[in-house]
Structure 1
Amino acid sequence: MGLRVIGAGVGRTGTESLRQALEQLLGGRCYHMFEIIAGRRDHVPVWLDAARGEYPVWDEFLADYVAAVDWPAASFWPELLAANPDALVLLSVRDVDAWWASASATIFSPRLEEQKARVGFPPDWPDAVLESRFDPQWREEGAAKEAYLRHNDAVRAAVPAGQLLEWAPGDGWEPICDALGVAVPDGPFPHANTSAEFQRLLGAPS
């Protein structure tokens, strides 16, 4: 069936909340970095190959999923859109300063490097993806912010307006449900994987 939603927003833009929301709305699994952390270590070399331009057959690789959000999939939104031309592209965004504050304290934190070593991830994961698909200087604030803005502008420029939904944390269910043509659930929109929660996972004070 292919992906119905391609999340083009980078990490720390509400992607785990989106994952939970999309799984509820679409009744299927949504790909997220947590899939790899939770056990799909076999996906790591596939993404590293993709960072070098050696792409998988996307429909086969992501055959178990109806949507994809977060790193590393968001870095490959053009390729995923080419493989799923009818999918909704969901660009999750937040203020660039707020994004950097969250990213630098969580997914770009040196503590994450320590955790990677402890659990046995390859030393180039996910650095090689970030360097080739985001910016070689992604650890530096200025370069990372410029890359974040450049990424979002590239999505806006390339995706037809009727196929693109720009969404920010706090927008809730309605824009997504309207774009997908589904009913708005009765319950609150998920709110998950806050910076404080992520820092606790890293063993850092919140």
Structure 2
Amino acid sequence: MSLMVIGTGFGRTGTDSMREALTMLGFGPCHHMWEVMAHAEQKRLWRAVAKGGAPNWAELFAGYKSCVDWPSAFYWRELIEAYPKARVILTWRSPESWWESFEKTILPAIVGSTDQESLGIALVANQVFGGRPQDRAHAIAVYRNNVEAVLNTVPAERLLVHKLGDGWAPLCAHLGVPVPHEPYPARNTRQEFRAALSPQ
């Protein structure tokens, strides 16, 4: 099994809904940060990569047909080369609305973490945002630069920009599959995000 779909959008751009949508369309299992958090081996493998280890994509994505969200979204340039037949999806929302969501969900989880091995710190805070995730102007600039890089790098015929609220039609057309009868999933609201991170 190799990756058939690669997501390039930051967390809080509808990635968990996209994960569920891809699974419903037959492109699951879909790799997402929740997968890393749920599996000790995934944590070990990705932490090694975040520290500069050479990634073994086949090992990191063993059993997965698609990937969205961090950590994989940070490595999209390498992944689109490693899987040249995979379709590419950029989940997107306006930079300002992205920050508003990020600031209330992922950012507190990173800032509040006491685990120095955390991928949230090693990858998201330090590598994605250069150690300045709390700097609104800087974080928004990083977000914009990622969007621009994807648009300038991925051939148009291989890329779908999927905006919040776009639903099934453009996604199914991009992947060449029929539109399901079920509604497009709406997952991982702020409340759900916080509940998932709360101690059980």
What is the TM-score of this pair, normalised by structure 1?
0.88
Query: How high is the sequence identity, in percent, across the aligned residues?
Result: 40
Tell me whether 1:174 sits opposite 2:174 in the alignment: no
3-state secondary structure, aligned to 2:178? coil
Q: Please, which runs of 5 or more residues in structure 2 have no aligned partner?
A: none
Tell me whether 1:189 sits opposite 2:175 in the alignment: no
**8 Å contact 2:27–2:66 — kept in the other structure?**
no
Shift of 1:122: 4.2
- Partners of 2:51 and 2:149 in 1: CA distance: 20
Question: 1:5-26 CA deviation, whole Å, 9 max, x = no partner?
Answer: 0010000000110000001102
Q: Please, which runs of 5 or more residues in structure 1 have no aligned partner?
A: none
Shift of 1:59: 1.9
Corresponding residue to 2:122 among 117, 120, 128: 128
User: CA distance change for structure 1 residues 32 and 17 in 2, over 3 Å: closer, same or farther?
Assistant: same
- Partners of 1:164 and 1:36 in 2: CA distance: 25
- Partners of 2:153 and 2:52 in 1: CA distance: 20
Task: Tell me which residue corresponds to 2:69.
Answer: 70
What is the TM-score of this pair, normalised by structure 2?
0.91
User: CA distance change for structure 1 residues 168 and 157 in 2, over 3 Å: closer, same or farther?
Assistant: same
Question: 1:149-169 CA deviation, whole Å, 9 max, x = no partner?
Answer: 001111111101100110011
**Within 5 Å, which residues of 2 pair with 1:11-30?**
11-30=11-30
Task: Tell me which residue corresponds to 1:91.
Answer: 90
**Within 5 Å, which residues of 2 pair with 1:93-108?**
93-108=92-107
3-state secondary structure, aligned to 2:185? coil
Shift of 1:101: 0.6
User: CA distance change for structure 1 residues 84 and 126 in 2, over 3 Å: closer, same or farther?
Assistant: same
**8 Å contact 1:112–1:202 — kept in the other structure?**
no
Task: Tell me which residue corresponds to 1:56.
Answer: 55
User: CA distance change for structure 1 residues 133 and 49 in 2, over 3 Å: closer, same or farther?
Assistant: farther
- Partners of 1:82 and 1:102 in 2: CA distance: 31
**8 Å contact 1:36–1:44 — kept in the other structure?**
yes
Cα root mean square deviation, aligned? 1.8
User: CA distance change for structure 1 residues 134 and 27 in 2, over 3 Å: closer, same or farther?
Assistant: same
Moved over 6 A (4+): none
3-state secondary structure, aligned to 1:89? strand
Shift of 1:50: 2.2
3-state secondary structure, aligned to 1:176? helix
- Partners of 1:201 and 1:17 in 2: CA distance: 15
Shift of 1:36: 1.7
User: CA distance change for structure 1 residues 54 and 60 in 2, over 3 Å: closer, same or farther?
Assistant: same
- Partners of 2:48 and 2:59 in 1: CA distance: 16
- Partners of 1:145 and 1:178 in 2: CA distance: 30
Question: 1:80-109 CA deviation, whole Å, 9 max, x = no partner?
Answer: 111101111100010111100100100011
3-state secondary structure, aligned to 1:187? coil
Shift of 1:198: 1.8
3-state secondary structure, aligned to 1:65? coil
**8 Å contact 1:9–1:91 — kept in the other structure?**
yes
